[in-house]
Amino acid sequence: MRVLFFFLLLIAAFPAKAEEVIAGLSQNRVSLTVNFEGSDILIYGAVRREMALPDDSELDVIVAVEGPPQPAVIWRKARRLGIWVNTDAQEVRAAPSFYAVATTRPLRDILLPEADLTHRISTRLAIFEARSTADRTDPAAFTEALIRIREREGLYQSRDGAVALERDTLFSTRILLPKNIVEGTYSARILLVRDGDVIDEFETFIDVRKAVLERWLTNLAYDRPFLYGLLALALAVFFGWGASALFRFVRS
């Protein structure tokens, strides 16, 4: 009895959050098939309150979806004898393979730099760039180049105003996973923001995996390339012979 009483006192010592985010996904598993053309993920939720809605500040919602981090190498090109060639390279220690940020308003208007640095929300801060070396003092330029390249590929997305927030309670947005994503575990963070600070955060995950046949072929290609080559050759011969036989049958 004393243990239960002490436990209740311990809970009471920690005040309840004034505002708490509750969220869900339209799907938490994506299968990468041969004809995969992308997947549209609906992220939705609500804000639970223990107190009255504040009148002196505005509530904002940030949704950040991040793919598995990977190292990357960025090359700088220069013109040499009339030809563009790779002249310099920078390795990035870890960069999200996919990163999308959707907000109720422009990110720079709702989030303080200190909060961004703490939670690493903006695309630039989500990337762990390499440190400068003795012969290269501008690693940030390579990071910006990586962001531009992946934005063109649809792998990095900044979507200001894409989160719909109704009555400061219900919110929703859609994140498009393009067809060129990699498999792995993707995290989806939903953050509540007031006065530039994050007041609550919710995290869930999306499992992106190759389908059974695609995974078997991938493993075969990497683990047993000789057998994979024989299988590809056999399939080519079979379909070539089948097409020839069908053509002869049609002509006869």
**pLDDT tens-digit readout, 27-44:** 999 988 878 889 999 999
Which residues in the chain come in under a pLDDT of 70? 1-17, 86, 129-138, 211-223, 227-228, 230-231, 235, 238-239, 242, 245-247, 249-250, 252
**pLDDT tens-digit readout, 130-158:** 554 445 556 778 888 899 999 999 999 99
H-only helix segments in the chain: 2-13, 107-110, 113-119, 123-126, 139-152, 212-223, 225-251
If you write DSSP's letter for every residue of 146-176 in order, what string do you get?
HHHHHHHTTSEEEETT-SEEETTTEEEEEEE
Q: List the 59-66 sheet strands across, edge first.
A: 29-32, 197-210, 184-194, 59-66, 99-103, 156-159
Cβ contact 154:178 at 8 Å:
yes
Q: Give the pLDDT confidence score for residue 12 in this predicted structure.
A: 44
* C-alpha distances in Å from residue 117, one per residue of 21, 112, 113, 126, 145: 21, 9, 6, 9, 21
Please identify which residue in the block is written with the tokens 């996973």: 177
Q: Give the pLDDT confidence score for residue 228 in this predicted structure.
A: 61
Give the Cα separation of 107 and 111 in Å (integer): 6
What residue type is 222 in one-letter code? Y
Q: Which residues contact 208 (CB under 8 A, 6 or more apart)?
A: 29, 30, 32, 67, 177, 181, 182, 183, 184, 185, 186
Q: Give the pLDDT confidence score for residue 32 in this predicted structure.
A: 86
Q: Give the pLDDT confidence score for residue 211 in this predicted structure.
A: 67
**Domain 2-210 CATH assignment equals 3.90.550.10:** no
**Domain map of the chain by residue range?**
2-210, 212-252
What residue type is 49 in one-letter code? R
Kindly report the pTM of this predicted structure.
0.75
Please identify which residue in the block is written with the tokens 């979806």: 65
Q: What is the 8-class DSSP label of residue 20?
A: E
Q: Give the pLDDT confidence score for residue 128 in this predicted structure.
A: 78
Extract the tokens encoding 130.
């390499």
Q: Give the pLDDT confidence score for residue 77 in this predicted structure.
A: 74
